[in-house]
Structure formats: C-alpha cells, structure tokens
Structure 1
Amino acid sequence: MPEAPDIPTAWRHLLERTPGTRQGDPLVIEATHAQPKLRGLYPWPSHGTLKFLRSAPSSAGNHDDLPFIVSGGPPYKVYTSGYTTLLGEVTTPEEAAALVVAHLPGDRDSPALDE
C-alpha cells in the first residue's frame, strides 16, 4: 500500500477515507485534525493507534518520538512513544487530541511543533 508523500496528502487521504490507504478511527482523525499542531505532523494510523511523525515515512527513519492515541475508546489512551508512559485516559477523541498536544516536545527544528 503506497503511503502519502507528504503531510497534507496524508491528512487528506485520512479525512476522505481514500481507498487503498491507511485508515484510522474517523472520530480520532477528525479530532486530531482540528488541532493545528497535530495537523502539521504526519498522521500514521496503525494497529488501532494514531501516531504522529515529524515527516513522511522514509527508510531514513520516521522520528517516532511523539505521543500517540490508542483508538477504539472510550476510553482513549494517550502514551509516550513506545508505550513507555501512559499519559492519560480520556472519554472523548477531542480530549485525547488535546492531551497529545499538551505533551508535544518544544522543538525549534520542527516548525509544526511551535505553532
């Protein structure tokens, strides 16, 4: 399955549920897309989660170091990268998106994280 080449295309494929592309929980997709900081990251739905990458996936690495959402709730769980720490359990996708935003690292090399 081909991946979207850039962040705007990835979001468009998710929101439009483009056939042949990765799909995720539509409620979580809409709630995270509503957050400007998350809209600037590459959405990566996989195995019941929605992860956020700093750029489109490549063989050079995905920079998978950001918090992510475990879908299928409620509750919706938000973890740090690698399931290292449970940041919280919330009842709505909007709360989950806000929790991810609240735990994004400040990163001067990634303008999307500083909006």
Structure 2
Amino acid sequence: MSEAPDVATAWLWLLERRPGTRGAMHDELAVVVEAAHAEPCLRELYPFPTHGTLRFLRSAPPWSGSDHDVPSIGYGGPPYKVYSADYDLLGEAATPAEAAALVVSNVPPR
C-alpha cells in the first residue's frame, strides 16, 4: 500500500475511499475523516489512519519525529477518543465533529 505523495492527495483518497488507501474501507473511519476535513487547521495536516486512529502529521512522507506532535482521533465511537501524540487520553467526544474540534484545540504551535 503506497502513501499519498502530499497532504491534498491524502485527504482526497480518504474522502473518496479510494481502494488501496490505508483504512479506506472502514465505515467508522469515513465519518471521522469527513469531520476532520471540515476543520481548516486539520486540512493542512497529513491524515494518516493507523491502529484504529486517525493521526495528523505535519508533512507528507517521509516523516521525521517532529512530524508526530498532533493529537489523534480513535474511530469506532461514540464516544470518539482523542489522544495526545504520546497516546495519553485527552478526552472523549460524542460526535466526530466534537472530536475534531478537541484535536484543533490541542494542536501545538509550530
């Protein structure tokens, strides 16, 4: 499975549920992707589904350690759990939109 080459393509592939895209066939992920994409702050980040979460990375691949400082959303809710970059639970949300807003409020400045 290849990763999208840039942020815009990564979002497009997830929104379209393009076959071969990581997590694209998970219905639970699709609603979280739509809610996260609605947040301008998160649209600037690279969406990366892994291990039941939607992570947000500062750049497209290849990645460095400094790209992994943004919280992530666990899909499969409700509740939707939001985790820090270190996987500490930041909170739970009743909807994907609330979870995305919680991530936005915890994005560290660059």
Please give the TM-score of this superposition, normalised by the length of structure 2: 0.91
2:52 pairs with 1:52: no
Report the residue type matching 2:21 in the other structure.
T
RMSD: 1.2
Query: Equivalents in 1 of 2:38, 2:60: separation in Å?
Result: 20
Alignment match, 1:87: 90
Report the residue type matching 2:17 in the other structure.
R
Q: How far 1:61 sits from its partner (Å)?
A: 1.7
The farther-off stretch of 23-32 and 97-106 is 23-32
Query: Equivalents in 2 of 1:43, 1:105: separation in Å?
Result: 16
The farther-off stretch of 20-29 and 34-43 is 20-29
Query: Equivalents in 1 of 2:33, 2:106: separation in Å?
Result: 18
Alignment match, 1:110: none
Q: Could you list the runs of 5+ residues in structure 2 that have no partner in the other structure? A: none
Q: Could you list the runs of 5+ residues in structure 1 that have no partner in the other structure? A: 108-115
Q: How far 1:64 sits from its partner (Å)?
A: 1.0
Please give the TM-score of this superposition, normalised by the length of structure 1: 0.87
Q: How far 1:82 sits from its partner (Å)?
A: 2.4
The percent of aligned pairs where both chains have the same amino acid is 61
Report the residue type matching 2:99 in the other structure.
A
Alignment match, 2:16: 16
Alignment match, 2:2: 2
Query: Equivalents in 2 of 1:21, 1:61: separation in Å?
Result: 21
Q: Which runs of 4+ in 1 moved over 2 A?
A: none
Task: Report SS of the residue matched to 2:73.
Answer: strand
Query: Equivalents in 2 of 1:57, 1:64: separation in Å?
Result: 12
The one-character-per-residue Cα deviations of 1:63-99 (angstroms, maximum 9, x if unpaired) are 111100111000100010121x211111100000000
Give 1:27's match in structure 2, choosing from 21, 25, 31: 31
Query: Equivalents in 2 of 1:82, 1:72: separation in Å?
Result: 20
Report the residue type matching 1:34 in the other structure.
A
